[in-house]
Amino acid sequence: MKFFGYMLCGLVIFSFVFAPNEDGKYTPSTHARTISKMPTNHKVVALTFDDGPDRRTTPEVLAVLREKKVHATFFVIGENAERYPNLLAEEVRDGHEIGNHSFDHKALPRLSEAMIDQELERTEKAITSIAPKPLLFRPPGGKLDNKVLAAAQNKGYTTVMWSVDPRDWRKPSVEKLVNSILQEVKPGSIILLHDGKYPSPTPQAVAIVIDRLRDAGYELVTVSELLQIYDIGGQ
């Protein structure tokens, strides 16, 4: 990698980085926090893809990332991972990071604690049959409360939100999608995209976005890599 990152001690990161979700929809507790971007001046951003694997969209996204030599983070739905183990294996083989996005994309705050645990565990089981144990969790629909946060944290997950949301699931034109990403992106951004089961301008747009970001001096990394560059932010 071009950057020289190393993980600072968790306490430092938790003090400065893990701010409560910006929408303020839950009351922050002492320990459970989310991350939606990294505070850095370095031109580093993370592409994330939710809701896959899907038999149509995921191979298209993977082909683009392979061609551009970019590693991204896929927040997979457990039942899709079970349905398409070969696609999950392809993501892993290509060097992408896999995160937990629940088993069936239910709104987790509505569920009991036992059911939330089950959502996380079933997905983890589907992932670990192929990939290393996931360290990152993103709640379906971004819906969070303290119960969900605590459940994720108890299982060793960092809860990852985003700072750039171009709403690709609304199927904007490729041009519109590209522009809305580029207008919002900043050093340390986490970009929310989807490789779910809907037809999508995302694969095409991602190819253009990667080129434009590189032209502007950005490096594209996984979320875990982004977490590691915190300490060089001021340089």
Position 50 contacts Ni ion (CB under 5 A): yes
Position 97 contacts Ni ion (CB under 5 A): no
Contact 209, 179 (CB under 8 A): no
Site string for Ni ion, 3-42 (x = CB under 5 A): ----------------------------------------
Q: Considering the complex, state which of residue 36 and residue 228 has its C-beta at the smaller distance from Ni ion.
A: 36
Residue of 42, 50, 105, 195 marked catalytic: 50
Contact 161, 35 (CB under 8 A): yes
Question: φ and ψ at 151, to 5 degrees?
Answer: -60, -45
CA 117/CA 59 separation, integer angstroms? 30
- C-alpha distances (whole Å) from 201 to each of 61, 90, 147, 205 are 10, 21, 35, 6
Which residue number has the CB closest to Ni ion? 50
Out of 34, 36, 51, 116, which residue is the one contacting Ni ion (CB under 5 A)?
Answer: 51
CA 73/CA 46 separation, integer angstroms? 8
**Residue 231 carries which side chain, given as an amino acid letter?**
D
In this structure, the number of other CB atoms found within 10 A of the CB of residue 211 comes to 12
CA 98/CA 139 separation, integer angstroms? 14
Q: Indicate the DSSP class of residue 157.
A: P
Site string for Ni ion, 114-153 (x = CB under 5 A): --------------------------x-------------
CB of 195 to Ni ion, least distance (A): 10
Residue of 71, 101, 105, 194 marked catalytic: 194
Is there a catalytic annotation at residue 105? no
CB of 51 to Ni ion, least distance (A): 4
CB of 157 to Ni ion, least distance (A): 16
Is there a catalytic annotation at residue 195? no
CB of 168 to Ni ion, least distance (A): 11
Residues annotated as catalytic (active site), given as ranges = 50, 194
Q: Which residues of the shown chain bind Ni ion in the complex (CB under 5 A)? A: 50-51, 140
